[in-house]
A and B are shown apart, each in its own frame.
Chain A
Amino acid sequence: MRRFFSRRKDYRELDDAELVALAKRDKEAFGELYERYLPKIYTYVYYRTGNIHDAEDLTAKVFTRALSHIGSYVDKGLPFGAWLFRIAHNLVANWHRDQSRRKIIPLEDYVAQAHKAEAPDALAEASEEREHLLRALRRLPPDRQQLILLKFIERLPNAEIGRIMNRSEGAIKSLYHRTLRALRAELSDLKEKGGSRQSDGTEG
């Protein structure tokens, strides 16, 4: 009787695996997973796309796809978050492919405009250094961008990043080193181009 009158199950107390099992038949359990992972997935997609509109659109697609496939989700030891990030990664890759077909605005200009016009307040005051860095980051191959975002935004350990990216922990360490080297090269390239344009009088 006491159990009957007790408060309903508090989903916040459950771990991801328990919630996933419940979410197969109870959407409220999925709602809790949504609350847990929305900020992470949104942040990841935002930095991969560079604007709020597409970040929202793709984030919605990630969760819609996750909801429609959660019934067939099988726990193979991969964290639920990793599964979501994989979905996000695939959708962002498709989005970039579609964007490159359209070729309306060069990516760097597009990113710069997007940040100036649409970025949230906290990001609107981005320094020139930060803009350079984000531009350089977006010039890297998608897997390297993904690694940087998972490491710096999600602060995931190498082992988990490896599970998301289908690589070993050692391979992630090595890729991280190569990525930082490439990023540094892109940054100096951007600075050189910026410097030469300024000295030519084509900018500023």
Chain B
Amino acid sequence: MKAEMNAASEIDTQDMLEALTAEDRLASDADAAPDPNGWGALIRALQRALPPVAPRREFRQALRRELLADERDAGGRRRQLPARVSFAALLALAAGCLVIMLRRIFDSQAADIADMQEEAVASSA
């Protein structure tokens, strides 16, 4: 019988501690909560003593760079680009290749014409 009462009392205390720890209770009517053993003061002290701590910005950025390092190669950078930018880059690359090919074709034709002109001049002479 005594053990049962102790167990019930233990559960009541646990429930009370959970209620006291709940933020809304603490913020509003903490003093009104049934708290004969003064647990609320300890819980409030814990909440005051443990604010979130922000990491340094330098650390945050450096660690991110380190973790994502493999993505920073050319392929990785390309994958980061929006699709339309990738498409524009692809178009520019294709256009560049086309210009180079056309120049080679026209340059070889120009060279042939020059050779023919030289031959014509030589034969007339």
A132-156, CB < 8 A from B: 133-134, 148-149, 151-153, 155
The size bracket of the interface on B is 35 or more
Query: B87 interface residue, CB < 8 Å from A?
Result: yes
Residues of B within 8 A of A (CB): 10, 13-15, 17-18, 21, 23, 39, 42-43, 45-56, 59-60, 63-64, 66-68, 70-71, 76, 80-84, 87
* Contact of A155 (CB < 8 Å), options: B23, B68, B81: B23
Query: A164 interface residue, CB < 8 Å from B?
Result: no
* Contact of A152 (CB < 8 Å), options: B10, B46, B68, B81: B46
Q: Please give me the residue from chain A that is nearest to B63 by CB atom.
A: A60
Q: Chain B interface secondary structure, helix, strand, loop or mixed? A: helix
The size bracket of the interface on A is 35 or more
Q: How far is the CB of A6 from chain B (nearest CB, A)?
A: 7
* Contact of B63 (CB < 8 Å), options: A63, A130, A173: A63
Q: How far is the CB of B87 from chain A (nearest CB, A)?
A: 7
Stretch at the interface among A74-82, A92-100, A176-184: A176-184
Please indicate the chain A residues that have their CB under 8 angstroms from the CB of B51 in the complex. Answer: 122-123
Known: A67-B67, A130-B48, A152-B50. 7 other contacts (CB 8 A): A28-B68, A34-B63, A35-B64, A42-B53, A43-B53, A47-B50, A130-B45
> For the complex, what is the distance from the CA of A96 to the CA of B15, rounded to whole Å?
33
Please indicate the chain A residues that have their CB under 8 angstroms from the CB of B84 in the complex. Answer: 4-5
Is B83's CB under 8 angstroms from A39's CB? no
Is A177's CB under 8 angstroms from B17's CB? yes
Residues of A within 8 A of B (CB): 4-8, 27-28, 30-31, 34-35, 38-39, 42-43, 46-47, 52, 55-56, 59-60, 63-64, 67, 120, 122-123, 126, 129-130, 133-134, 148-149, 151-153, 155, 158, 173-174, 176-177, 180, 183-184, 187
Q: Please give me the residue from chain A that is nearest to B23 by CB atom.
A: A155
A–B Cβ pairs within 8 angstroms, 17 of them: A5-B87, A27-B71, A34-B67, A39-B55, A43-B53, A56-B55, A56-B59, A59-B63, A60-B66, A64-B67, A123-B53, A133-B46, A173-B17, A176-B14, A180-B42, A180-B43, A187-B42
